[in-house]
């Protein structure tokens, strides 16, 4: 009787995976980047990355939301669609979605074991796959899942940069660059033009580039030049600079869908079967289904009653914005909406490689009070007391509290006393650390 390999639980497999280097939780200055380990793993696994059509998404901010919106629209059109994203907020399954649902534990465990076995074989044979990182293995597992479930399309989010990112083994028929700002400068370069050169590295001959950046923009010129070198057409949105983040994302996805419709892609099911896919798919239903945790996510947070005070509700918004231009856009959109009233009390954590001065300069224009904390999950936290010192020098009222949950309690008490609202921002790790508590205590 043949021996059936034992199926291990997801926690067991993740424990095995966690022995690998995880650059998401380490300083980035000496980060190993390169595609050779991924290409070795892909070959050993039967090249799963070639089993589906792909849309590949890079950019400083908005990658995840654009991916989610594109996947939701294609799913609405009747295609079998998956999405790969990073990082996760609450649990690792969020990184891989199949037909609009997070991958099941058993399927993820099975895929990870296949990849880890290939990694172990590469170690024994001293081939490039022996240098695979945590992110390499997770990315490879996503592609294995997508192949095994028989997807038509995968919408793949770049982890860091583009040219040398683990995900760049895929051929994206459409390569999207959402925007370009200064971030991860120790890896990607210290100018927008240099960063654009890394991110447009996902563009390959035969593909189409879509972006929000016109050729008149310095970074946009880099994208245009690379597209011209490769003979790739380029699509650019035409939307006002002061449009909301959600509207800019929808415009970009709509542009891509219109292009695919013009290339002959059709709706596969429903009352519009056979119609060209297009921007019309990005309606309110698709926008709602494409929302991600920790991106402009709204709650009513409940403060428990005490002997002296009745139970109170505090409006809260969670957004993992961590670069100046993005937190500016987030706060601008919030203040233009009618969802919240009163002043903003912010709970903030930043990684040590982020532009703290630029980020706090923006916060100081919008926030009445800040509680600085540390999101230990990142392993790269900017010390809370240093953020508080910097904020104080800018004239911000603030305090430091190392424990995120204590910071939440302090911010909530202050906001409830004054009829204010809370913003949790600066890090998706911070959002992840607090979100389950907020969900338990929401209205």
Domains and CATH numbers, the chain: 10-289 (3.40.1190.10), 297-440 (3.90.190.20)
Specify the pLDDT at position 13: 92
Specify the pLDDT at position 305: 53
Specify the pLDDT at position 182: 63
Q: What are phi and psi of 241, to 5 degrees?
A: -60, -30
Dihedral of CA atoms 411, 416, 417, 423 in degrees, nearest 10, equals 40
Specify the pLDDT at position 31: 52
Specify the pLDDT at position 168: 96
Give buried/exposed letters for 10-24 (b at 16+ CB in 10 A, else e).
beebbebbeebeebb
Reduce the DSSP state of residue 180 to 3 states and report it: coil
Q: Which residues of the chain have a pLDDT value below 50?
A: 1-4, 26-29, 185-186, 189, 306-308, 378
| Residue 338 Cα distances to 115, 287, 315, 342, angstroms | 48, 19, 12, 11
Query: What strands, in cross-sheet order, belong to the sheet with 344-348?
Result: 297-303, 312-319, 421-425, 344-348, 367-372, 398-400
- Compute the distance between CA of residue 385 and CA of residue 289 in angstroms, rounded to an integer: 39
Specify the pLDDT at position 185: 46
Specify the pLDDT at position 220: 93
pTM: 0.87
Specify the pLDDT at position 28: 46
Specify the pLDDT at position 175: 98
Specify the pLDDT at position 442: 63
Reduce the DSSP state of residue 135 to 3 states and report it: helix
Specify the pLDDT at position 36: 94
Within 10 Å of residue 151's Cβ, how many Cβ atoms?
21
Specify the pLDDT at position 419: 87
């Amino acid at each position: 009787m043949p021996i059936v390999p034992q199926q291990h639980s997801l926690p067991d497999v993740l424990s095995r995976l966690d022995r690998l280097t995880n650059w998401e939780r380490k300083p980035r200055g000496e980060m190993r980047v390169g595609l050779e380990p991924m290409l070795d793993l892909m070959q050993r696994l039967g090249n799963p990355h070639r089993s589906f059509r792909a849309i590949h998404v890079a950019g400083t901010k908005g990658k995840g939301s654009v991916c989610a919106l594109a996947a939701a629209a294609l799913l609405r059109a009747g295609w079998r669609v998956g999405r790969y994203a990073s990082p996760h907020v609450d649990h690792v399954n969020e990184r891989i979605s199949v037909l609009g649902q997070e991958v099941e534990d058993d399927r993820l465990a099975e895929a990870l074991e296949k990849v880890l076995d290939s990694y172990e074989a590469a170690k024994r044979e001293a081939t490039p796959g022996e240098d695979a990182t945590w992110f390499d293995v997770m990315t490879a597992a996503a592609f294995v899942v997508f192949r095994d479930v028989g997807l038509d399309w995968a919408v793949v989010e770049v982890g860091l940069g583009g040219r040398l990112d683990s995900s760049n083994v895929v051929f994206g028929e459409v390569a999207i660059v959402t925007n370009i700002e200064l971030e991860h400068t120790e890896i990607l370069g210290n100018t927008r033009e240099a960063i654009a050169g890394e991110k447009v590295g996902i563009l390959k001959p035969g593909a189409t580039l879509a972006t929000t950046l016109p050729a008149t923009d310095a970074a946009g010129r880099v994208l245009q030049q690379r597209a011209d070198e490769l003979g790739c057409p380029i699509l650019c949105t035409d939307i006002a600079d002061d449009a909301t983040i959600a509207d800019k994302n929808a415009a970009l996805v709509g542009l891509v869908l219109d292009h695919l419709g013009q290339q002959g892609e059709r709706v596969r099911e429903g009352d519009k079967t056979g119609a060209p896919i297009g921007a019309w798919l990005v309606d309110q239903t698709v926008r709602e289904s494409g929302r991600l945790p920790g991106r402009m996510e709204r709650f009513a947070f409940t403060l428990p009653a005490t002997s002296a005070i009745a139970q109170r509700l505090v409006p809260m918004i969670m957004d993992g914005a961590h670069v100046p231009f993005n937190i500016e856009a987030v706060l601008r959109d919030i203040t233009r909406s009618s969802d919240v009233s009163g002043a903003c009390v912010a709970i903030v954590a930043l990684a040590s490689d982020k532009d703290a001065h630029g980020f706090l300069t923006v916060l100081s224009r919008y926030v009445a009070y800040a509680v600085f904390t540390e999101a230990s999950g990142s392993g790269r936290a900017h010390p809370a007391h240093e953020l508080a010192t910097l904020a104080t020098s800018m004239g911000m009222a603030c305090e430091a509290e190392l424990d995120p949950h204590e910071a939440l309690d302090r911010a909530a008490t202050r906001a409830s006393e004054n009829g204010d609202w809370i913003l949790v921002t600066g890090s998706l790790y911070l959002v992840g650390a607090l979100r389950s508590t907020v969900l338990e205590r929401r209205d």
